[in-house]
Every structure is written in structure tokens, then in C-alpha cells.
Amino acid sequence: MPPHESARDVNRTLFGVLALLTMMVAVLAAAAGDAGQFDEERPPIIVHNGSIVFEPQLRPGAPPGSWEAAGPTSVWRHIHPSKAVPKALQVTATPGGNVCKDPAAQKLFSQPTDTPITIAYGSPKESQEAVVSILNGNLTVNFGKNPPVHDAKTRQLIAYANNTQVQILRAIVNKATCEFTTTVGLSIRQIR
């Protein structure tokens, strides 16, 4: 085969690969365009059992932000230097899977929401609530009548229930109440 024909074949192959890559990028960009995107600069807020702890999940090189009292000491907001303003929240449970007693609530549980998320914690006999929402561009947590302890060094809000057996009992998301069937931790992501 003459050298000019093999160079032409290589050019055709390269052109085909580039065209395919361009089409794949366009399809991926179109699919992600309408879906809402996680704000990758703002860390998800993790809610742990034990003493209920709200803390940003830190990532290497990303600024962590900080908690700041917003008026009454039971209302706190997570201030972050990211310029993007979150428009919705999405909560997931760890471990994953079917964690709600009601299958209808399970379908709504992990869907993004622009309405507040209520997290009930404590024991089945005595519980408290924290309401998580987006207010003025910041993730805000209202602990009601029981203000949390703020640990500035670890960037945590620690909510002590009035008993020793503290766990996350249920979450109200998208107007559906998910009563948890197992011990869970929660991750709350901000979507812009």
C-alpha cells in the first residue's frame, strides 16, 4: 500500500473517533442540562446517629464553610464561599436501599425537593425535630426549642436529645413521611 493511502486511512480513523467523542460529549451535556446539578463546591451535610451531629463532609482542597447562628440560637446556617446558590436539597440514607416502612414514601424520599426536610430524632417515646431548608442561598437548620451545641473546631452542630438512646427516627421529604426500618445516617446534598 502506498504511504499516502495509509496516512489517509489514519486521518479518516482519527476524524471518526473525534466525531464520536464530540457526539458523546453533546449527549452527556444535554442529559445533565435540565437535571439540576449538585453544587460540588458545597459539601453535603452528613447527619449521624448517637448524639445527632450535623457536619459538612470535607473534601481535599475544597473550602469547608462554617456554621453561623442565624438569630435565635436554635437556627443555624451553613455559610459557604461558593458563588452558586442552591435551589433544592436531596437527602439519601446510609445504608441505602429500602429504608422506609411505606413503599410510597420510599419513592419520594430521595427525590430533590425545594421544600423543607424535617428530621425527627430521639427515641420512639420522645423525639425532637430539626428542619433543614435553603434560606437566602444557605443551607439552614432550625432545631426548634432545643438549640444544638456548636463545635467550631470540628465544624459540627451537635443536637442532644433528652434521652440516651438517640437515633434518627424519620424524615419528612416531599410531604411524605419515611419511618426508618433500620438505623440510618443521612446525607443532604445541595442542588443548584
DSSP result, 34-69:
SS--B-TTSPPEEEETTTEEEEE---TTS---EEEE
Whether 23 and 89 map to the same domain: the answer is: no
pLDDT in tens, 85-99: 889 999 988 887 788
* % of the chain at pLDDT higher than 70: 75
User: What confidence category does residue 32 fall into, taking pLDDT thresholds of 50, 70 and 90?
Assistant: very low
H helices, E strands: number in the chain: 2, 13
Whether 83 and 137 map to the same domain: the answer is: yes
pLDDT for res 142 = 94
Whether 18 and 102 map to the same domain: the answer is: no
> What is the Cα–Cα distance from 180 to 127, expressed in whole angstroms?
14
Whether 21 and 57 map to the same domain: the answer is: no
Task: Check whether 169 has a pLDDT greater than 80.
Answer: yes
Q: Which of 5-9, 30-34, 38-42 has the highest mean pLDDT?
A: 38-42
Whether 73 and 30 map to the same domain: the answer is: no
Coil/strand/helix, residue 163:
coil
Grid coordinates standing for 45?
Answer: 451535610
In this structure, is residue 187 part of a structural domain? Answer: yes
pLDDT for res 6 = 56
Domain of 153? 45-191
In this structure, is residue 128 part of a structural domain? Answer: yes
pLDDT in tens, 63-83: 778 899 987 789 999 988 877
In this structure, is residue 148 part of a structural domain? Answer: yes
Total number of domains constituting the chain: 2
Task: Check whether 141 has a pLDDT greater than 50.
Answer: yes
Whether 50 and 115 map to the same domain: the answer is: yes
Whether 72 and 141 map to the same domain: the answer is: yes
User: What confidence category does residue 143 fall into, taking pLDDT thresholds of 50, 70 and 90?
Assistant: very high
pLDDT in tens, 98-133: 889 998 898 888 899 999 999 999 887 888 899 999
pLDDT for res 28 = 35
Whether 93 and 166 map to the same domain: the answer is: yes
Whether 141 and 173 map to the same domain: the answer is: yes
In this structure, is residue 167 part of a structural domain? Answer: yes
Q: Kindly report which listed range (3-7, 97-101, 163-167, 181-185) carries the lowest average pLDDT score.
A: 3-7
CB 77 within 8 A of CB 68: yes
In this structure, is residue 124 part of a structural domain? Answer: yes
pLDDT for res 41 = 65
Average pLDDT of the chain is 77
Whether 74 and 169 map to the same domain: the answer is: yes
Task: Check whether 9 has a pLDDT greater than 60.
Answer: no
pLDDT for res 118 = 96
In this structure, is residue 40 part of a structural domain? Answer: no
Residue 44: Cβ-neighbour burial (10 angstroms; 0-12, 13-18, 19+): buried
Interval 44-59 mean pLDDT = 78
Whether 82 and 165 map to the same domain: the answer is: yes
Whether 185 and 108 map to the same domain: the answer is: yes
